[in-house]
Amino acid sequence: MSKKLFKKILVANRGEIAVRVIRACKLLDIPTVAVYSTADKNALHTLLADEAVEIGPPPPRESYLDIKKLVETARAHKCDAIHPGYGFLSENPLFPIACEKARLTFIGPSAEAMRLLGNKVQSRIKMATAGVPIIPGMKASGDNIFQFESAAEEAGYPVLIKAAAGGGGKGMRIVHRREDLAPSVEAAKREAKNAFGDDTVYLEKYIENPRHIEFQVLADDHGNTIHLFERECSVQRRHQKIIEETPSTALTPALRVQMGNAAVRVATAAGYRNAGTVEFLFDKSGSFYFLEMNTRIQVEHPITEMTTSVDLVVEQIRIAAGEKISDYVLEAKQRGHAIECRIYAEDAENNFLPSSGDILYYQEPVGPGIRVDSGVTKGTAVGVEYDPILAKLIVYAPTRELAISKMIQALKDYKILGIKTSRKFMIDILSHPEFKAGNTYTNFIEKHFSERTVDLIPALELAAAVSTVAMAQGSKARPTVVKQAEGLSPWQTIGPWELGMRINK
């Protein structure tokens, strides 16, 4: 890199995505400033950045969502750019506006593009005009329940209530019967208000058993708007993706070209710049509909990185600095197969209830083609204030079959103790014959895993046997945190334990 793209970047996020951005900045030799709430004082992202600044108490509104505080922090610490990550302020048009006023570069699209695409109702209308296929439904959002009722009658049940400002499954409800419509609209409005500060919801026809296929897009200031192929994100729970893969088993080369072109058309129509994702629903007949465009880097971006060798965060930063998309990116090809599993702190056996607590044991899997994007480590306290995503496990292999078996093994080797995670559940999904056959669709989990029970009897015996030994060896006595502050070498404080087996008591 001949010249520095930015002097210093403030990373306005937390968790694994903040860590991911910091790592990309390190590659580009750009120093970073991390921000953290009091709950995240010892979080991984604050430890990895060159500087870390406390910005407030745990509630996001008073810390990670406080635009004024973030911009002031960036100015005070001599940053010239801000990366928003995903979630939080990443799709809030007020953020790039505030950055511009403070002469900071916002690493993302313009406020105008964000505003248009962030509103699902407006973007639907715009994309229909640009000749991109959309799902039948309400032309505009409604205020009273009668508008929803008549739109639902017209589209035919089941229908889907969606937040105009939505994302991540929040503020979204499927309605099968007329009598469920009013309470669902109410619940969706409440969730939307909480998550996005905007309670506008609308209704569209619910496409049954669709696949969710999205295209990664990049656009620069030099007239280049390209796509980097698709990601299939059909395996979801509570409308939230948990397993993503690329390429999609549903696409033929001809469909890939068609949808890729449509994605580029969406970005162009919106005057889009930087990295973004165009999401489509894909139905059984092979028709596809524009769903929305996400104006940020996405959780599942690593699978595209694995199959194209493109570093998307590096490209985001380059584009924001006014550079042309790199030549290697313009020529990128899709090769091999990649899968991502989101590691959530949640209880898959108990309706995906979020799980909180301290991470008592942490060990990442290793091997060729295995990548872990993590925001946690041993000792991290997982609280209830933030999204339950802890880490992402990504694997790459030459074929889909090999990628699946590699992922299953990597999930087994990924050890996180102290909180519940969905690793075992994901192993079961990946081992399911329908998944192996590539027959995934958005209600895959409801259909194949609604009555899931895990046979625990032999496992329980095994667990009891090991626990007995762990107790007998007095695991509690072993120091888990070794402080060097006292002037001691860590080896002196560990005792006879860390190196192997204990000599008999």
Partner 1 sequence: MINQFAYNEETVETKLKTVPSGFEVSVGENNYFVSEIAPGNFQVILNGAKKMVCCVVKGNRSYIDIDGLLIELEIPSDDGDMASSAAAHAVAKDKIFAPMPGKIVKLLVKEGETVEAKQPMVIVEAMKMENQVNSPASGTVKKINFKDGEQVGTEIPIIELELPVL
- Binding stretches for partner 1 (CB under 8 A): 170, 187, 190-191, 194-195, 238, 345, 350-351, 353-356, 358, 360-361, 363, 384-388, 411-412, 414-418, 420-421, 423-424, 426-427, 454, 456, 459-473, 475-476, 478, 497-498, 500-502, 504-505
Residue from 122, 179, 119 nearest 149 by CA: 179
Q: What are the start-end ranges of the E strands in 283-377?
A: 288-294, 337-344, 346-347, 353-354, 357-358, 361-363, 370-374
User: Which is nearer to partner 1, 27 or 454 (by Cβ)?
Assistant: 454
SS3 state of residue 360: coil
Residue from 402, 353, 403, 357 nearest 380 by CA: 357
Q: Is 61 a catalytic residue?
A: no
Least Å from the CB of residue 302 to partner 1: 21
User: Which is nearer to partner 1, 424 or 448 (by Cβ)?
Assistant: 424
User: Which is nearer to partner 1, 126 or 189 (by Cβ)?
Assistant: 189
SS3 state of residue 90: coil
Least Å from the CB of residue 248 to partner 1: 26
Locate tokens 């919801």: which residue?
Answer: 201
Least Å from the CB of residue 194 to partner 1: 7
User: Which is nearer to partner 1, 115 or 173 (by Cβ)?
Assistant: 173
Least Å from the CB of residue 502 to partner 1: 7
DSSP string, 131-173: T--B-SB-SS--SSHHHHHHHHHHH-SSEEEEETT-BTTBT-E
User: Which is nearer to partner 1, 333 or 505 (by Cβ)?
Assistant: 505
Contact 493, 482 (CB under 8 A): yes
Q: Which of 14, 20, 296, 318 is catalytic?
A: 296
Q: Which two tokens stand for residue 442?
A: 């958005």
Residue from 408, 409, 370, 413 nearest 392 by CA: 370
Residues 6+ apart with CB under 8 A from 316: 83, 107, 108, 274, 275, 297
Least Å from the CB of residue 218 to partner 1: 29
Least Å from the CB of residue 207 to partner 1: 24
User: CA–CA distance from 92 to each of 27, 95, 165 (Å)?
Assistant: 27, 6, 10
User: Which is nearer to partner 1, 437 or 464 (by Cβ)?
Assistant: 464
Enumerate the active-site residues: 296
